[in-house]
Chains A and B, each alone.
Chain A
Amino acid sequence: MEILAFHWCQLNLRKSLSDGLKSLIPIIALLVIWEITSRTIRVMSIFVPPPSVDLLALYHGIVSLEYFVLIWETLQRMFTAYFLAAAIAIPIGLFLGWNLRAYKVFEPLIEALRVIPSVAWIAPAIIFFGLSGTSVVFVTFYALFWLFLVFSLYGVLSIDKLALLSFKTVRAKKRDIFTKLIVPGSMVNVAAALRQGIAVAFIVTISGEMLLSVDGLGYFLLESERIFAYSSIYATLILLSILGYSLTKIAILVEERFTLKWAIESGIRIG
């Protein structure tokens, strides 16, 4: 029995290892095709340098610590906006979901403001904060604010009316209804918003930096184009891919941590 189990374990390990290797094939294939075409077509070798050249540029950027400075600047803006938006928008969303009369009053204003694309606020941001990191934080904050507010509001609205009625049968205090039903009952939605917020923050911060700041990864991308450092552009894109992937993974881990086992196991996590 033990021998069998051991054997099975080994097989499984070998299987997952070979699956992992298999999933690398498409990535390697893309790099190989890119390398070959870029080296055979002359125009391409200038505008889309082969990955070997780009990866070398990435390596130089990393060892010179230049990329670390850029990443630090970008992430700092992204997460300043993220935590600021979460701290302000989630309580407001929970309150409005709880107090429907207040929601009715604010609904037209919320709808009017949240449909404005966040990047459209780049123009007024320049007036308010100039070409600066603060402007980037502002625009990212704007995008996240409505995402967090609307999700937490809907989280409250999704709470079962019968659960609320059961609280009322024992004449529960308003404060208890809020802390023991409304807040935990909307956690699934809030956690989903926090996960999606990471992706949104990443997109908007990079876009914002292209137009608003003189540092960060977004600025560096556009600047590389201006000085014809084409391999730097692709090196940065590869870096953004790795960074985006890691951020997404972290967001999922954080969500699973916060939504707790029950939501995942009972399958009510929100996509």
Chain B
Amino acid sequence: METAISTESLNFFYNGTQILKDINLNILKGRFVSVVGPSGCGKSTLLLLLARMLSPASGSITVESDNVGLIFQEYNRVLLPWRTVLDNAALYLELLGAGKSERYETIKNYLALVGLNGFEKLYPHQLSGGMKQRVQIARVLSTQPQILLLDEPFGSLDSQTKESMQDELLNIFYKEKGLTALFVTHDIEEATFLSDEVVILGRRPSVVVGKLDVGIPHPRDAETRFSDRFQQIKHEIWKSLRSIGVN
């Protein structure tokens, strides 16, 4: 299978402190991969490096597409409060030079995809957290990325909203063919439910301490969370994290 993202001996420093150490990743095309690790271990930094928003100190990064979409946890900070849902979602298309009618036409499909039909005219402050995150997801998907980088996108949502957003994300992922996803989280259950593969990062400086194939077939649904295999994988990840002093 083709490789979508690979890094070789990746090192990154911030203000003289080593954040990432010797990271080797090989993510195959079409896979959903989660990166799990303790808070502040440099997971977000890794995504910013892959999105070329930061440059590594040493090592190499190969991303097999120019079209990379980045979804942030803090939807409140990336949605523009003076724009409606429609214009917030259509922002990236607008910045990429799409005309008004063209981008509105396109974005309507993506708003429908994330379940925001009929909310076009509302402003961000009139939406719940989950809905705001959907706006951001529609915004990023509208640029038709080949690679999706998600930085704890559901980290600040309540657990019920979180679960339904996970279901929907998986549905979208399998509907939009050819997507590769790298999903950063510190939630073991979330990583297990979403991923084909889980990469475990240690504390600063972060090194890869383990990789794990989830091996639960698709489609997955709420029942998946109660299967033996699911519990077993969760336990494996938990043990890895405990071995490096988390939990």
A162-B74, A165-B53, A169-B70 known; A262-B95 Cβ under 8 A? no
CA A263 to CA B80, docked complex, whole Å:
11
Interface residues in B44-97 by Cβ distance below 8 A to A read: 51, 53, 68-70, 72, 74, 77-78, 80-82, 91-92, 94-96
CA A254 to CA B68, docked complex, whole Å:
43
CA A65 to CA B111, docked complex, whole Å:
62
In the assembled complex, the CB of B138 is this many whole angstroms from the nearest CB of chain A, namely 14
Tell whether B100 is near chain A: CB-to-CB under 8 Å. no
Q: Is the CB of B77 within 8 A of A160?
A: yes
Other-chain residue from A170, A173, A266 in contact with B92 (beta carbon distance below 8 A): A170
In the assembled complex, the CB of A109 is this many whole angstroms from the nearest CB of chain B, namely 31
Chain B 104-134 per-residue mask, 1 if CB under 8 angstroms from chain A, else 0: 0000000000000000000111100000000
Q: Is the CB of A260 within 8 A of B53?
A: no
Chain B interface category by residue count: 20 to 34
B-chain residues with CB within 8 Å of residue A260 when the two chains form the complex: 82
Tell whether A198 is near chain B: CB-to-CB under 8 Å. no
Tell whether B166 is near chain A: CB-to-CB under 8 Å. no
Q: Is the CB of B82 within 8 A of A263?
A: yes
A162-B74, A162-B78, A169-B70 known; A261-B53 Cβ under 8 A? no
Tell whether B143 is near chain A: CB-to-CB under 8 Å. yes
Q: Is the CB of A181 within 8 A of B80?
A: yes
CA A163 to CA B82, docked complex, whole Å:
13
A170-B96, A180-B95, A262-B125 known; A268-B53 Cβ under 8 A? no
Q: Is the CB of B125 within 8 A of A265?
A: yes
Tell whether A130 is near chain B: CB-to-CB under 8 Å. no
Interface residues in A169-215 by Cβ distance below 8 A to B read: 169-170, 172-173, 176, 180-181, 184-185, 187
In the assembled complex, the CB of B35 is this many whole angstroms from the nearest CB of chain A, namely 18
A-chain residues with CB within 8 Å of residue B123 when the two chains form the complex: 261-262, 265-266
Tell whether A98 is near chain B: CB-to-CB under 8 Å. no
B-chain residues with CB within 8 Å of residue A172 when the two chains form the complex: 95
CA A256 to CA B70, docked complex, whole Å:
35
Tell whether A15 is near chain B: CB-to-CB under 8 Å. no
B-chain residues with CB within 8 Å of residue A268 when the two chains form the complex: 81
Tell whether A246 is near chain B: CB-to-CB under 8 Å. no
Q: Is the CB of A166 within 8 A of B78?
A: yes
CA A262 to CA B143, docked complex, whole Å:
27
CA A162 to CA B74, docked complex, whole Å:
8
Other-chain residue from A163, A180, A261 in contact with B78 (beta carbon distance below 8 A): A163
Query: Interface centre among A166, A173, A262, by most B CB within 10 Å?
Result: A166
CA A163 to CA B124, docked complex, whole Å:
14
B-chain residues with CB within 8 Å of residue A42 when the two chains form the complex: none
CA A173 to CA B95, docked complex, whole Å:
7
Q: Is the CB of A162 within 8 A of B95?
A: no
In the assembled complex, the CB of B152 is this many whole angstroms from the nearest CB of chain A, namely 13
A-chain residues with CB within 8 Å of residue B125 when the two chains form the complex: 262, 265-266
CA A169 to CA B91, docked complex, whole Å:
12
CA A262 to CA B127, docked complex, whole Å:
12
A-chain residues with CB within 8 Å of residue B74 when the two chains form the complex: 162
In the assembled complex, the CB of A187 is this many whole angstroms from the nearest CB of chain B, namely 7
Residue of chain A at shortest CB distance from B68? A169
Q: Is the CB of A262 within 8 A of B51?
A: no
Tell whether A167 is near chain B: CB-to-CB under 8 Å. yes
A260-B82, A268-B81 known; A170-B53 Cβ under 8 A? no
CA A187 to CA B81, docked complex, whole Å:
12
CA A173 to CA B94, docked complex, whole Å:
11
Q: Is the CB of B72 within 8 A of A162?
A: yes
CA A79 to CA B209, docked complex, whole Å:
67
B-chain residues with CB within 8 Å of residue A263 when the two chains form the complex: 81-82
A-chain residues with CB within 8 Å of residue B70 when the two chains form the complex: 166, 169
CA A56 to CA B124, docked complex, whole Å:
55
B-binding residues in A (CB < 8 A): 160, 162-163, 165-170, 172-173, 176, 180-181, 184-185, 187, 260-263, 265-266, 268
A-binding residues in B (CB < 8 A): 51, 53, 68-70, 72, 74, 77-78, 80-82, 91-92, 94-96, 123-126, 143
29 residue pairs of the A-B complex, CB under 8 angstroms, read A160-B78, A162-B72, A162-B74, A162-B77, A166-B78, A167-B95, A168-B53, A169-B51, A169-B68, A170-B92, A170-B96, A170-B143, A173-B95, A176-B95, A180-B94, A180-B95, A184-B82, A185-B80, A185-B82, A187-B82, A260-B82, A262-B123, A262-B125, A263-B82, A265-B123, A265-B126, A266-B123, A266-B124, A266-B125
- A sample of 7 more A-B contacts (CB under 8 A), given A160-B78, A265-B126, is A160-B77, A162-B74, A163-B77, A181-B80, A260-B82, A262-B125, A266-B125
7 closest A-B pairs (Cβ-Cβ)?
Answer: A266-B125, A162-B77, A166-B78, A172-B95, A160-B77, A169-B70, A170-B92
